[in-house]
Amino acid sequence: MIREAVIPAAGYGTRVSPASRAVPKELFPIPIRIGYRKLYLVPALQIILQQLYEAGIDTFYIIVNHYKKTIIEGYLRPDYNYLYTLIGNGKLGEASLLNKFYGILDRIRINYIIQERPLGVGDAVYRSRDYVEGQFMIHMGDDLIISSHNEYARMIKEHTRLESDATILVQMVDNPRQYGIVEGDGDDNYIWVNKIIEKPDVDTPKYAIIGVYCIKPVIFEVMESLSKRGEWELTDAVQEMIDQGYKVVAIKASPGATRIDIGRPETYLEVFRKPIELW
């Protein structure tokens, strides 16, 4: 059973700057509609932590820089005076959402790991090598998926059943040029990955990587050589696993699942045109 998750959140978010300088993109608001009623703005990281907790994760390693640590840690520290203020002002829906989240924060462990320089997502994950104890999940802080059920619980279950060394969540996209894509043999539910291509120069629909992985600690051994070359990406390490003969499987996201990519203005703003129904 996977109980740990690494969340890379140290990047500067230059593509959504200057807003990302004021507020870490991991805390950008996501419009959530509950039961076809009121609309709420919920920070992305709150949604991620809540869904991962509901999938069985109770220990988190958030990779941050010094500036973002102050802001993210501050938000993830329960403030019951603020909660009582919401209640006193009659904001009962907002208070209920926050109270539920505070209950989760009281039951999980959050550890912060500093990435001093922006050396890529691969380097960020590599910094958790002395902390993670077994198989774990990697979840980007600016990329999430929401569907009628918990995609992360399904992913963990399938990762275990398939006995894969790395499991990637993917979804078909019409514009693969801006994503990492997977290639390999597959069926309606899975792709046995033999190649990962970053930002391919193609216009045909492809299965793009969502920033969520279930993975074995062997990834850190694979990362050893990559860690000496400066900036590098997580997909470089996963491709190296494939090259070394490890079993890498991509799970296709459920039909109707919504991906929220905060890292680009055009994809982030898209979610405001059709708010997500959740909880």
The tens digit of pLDDT for each residue in 96-154 reads: 999 999 999 999 999 999 999 888 999 999 999 999 999 999 999 999 999 888 999 99
Under 8 Å between Cβ of 182 and 207: yes
Q: What is the predicted pLDDT for the residue at 186?
A: 87
Q: What is the predicted pLDDT for the residue at 230?
A: 78
Distances in whole angstroms, Cα of residue 74 to Cα of each of 67, 68, 123, 132, 265: 11, 10, 25, 24, 25
Q: Classify residue 82 by burial, with Cβ atoms within 10 Å: 0-12, 13-18, 19+.
A: exposed
In terms of residue numbers, what domain contains 248? 4-277
pTM of the model: 0.95
Dist. CA 17–CA 208, nearest whole Å: 24
Dist. CA 172–CA 60, nearest whole Å: 29
Q: What is the predicted pLDDT for the residue at 36?
A: 66
Q: What is the predicted pLDDT for the residue at 231?
A: 81
Dist. CA 202–CA 50, nearest whole Å: 36
Percent of the chain as helix, strand, coil, to the nearest 5: 35, 30, 35
Q: What is the predicted pLDDT for the residue at 25?
A: 97
Under 8 Å between Cβ of 212 and 137: yes
Dist. CA 152–CA 48, nearest whole Å: 10
Domain with residue 81: its CATH number is 3.90.550.10
* 3-state secondary structure at position 30: strand
Q: What is the predicted pLDDT for the residue at 110?
A: 98
Q: Which positions of the chain have pLDDT values less than 70?
A: 35-36, 279
Q: Which of 37, 93, 39, 32 is CA-nearest to residue 276?
A: 32
Dist. CA 136–CA 63, nearest whole Å: 15
* 3-state secondary structure at position 97: helix
Provide the number of structural domains found in the chain.
1
Instruction: List the structure tokens of 14.
Output: 């230059």
H or E, element range at 39: strand 39-43
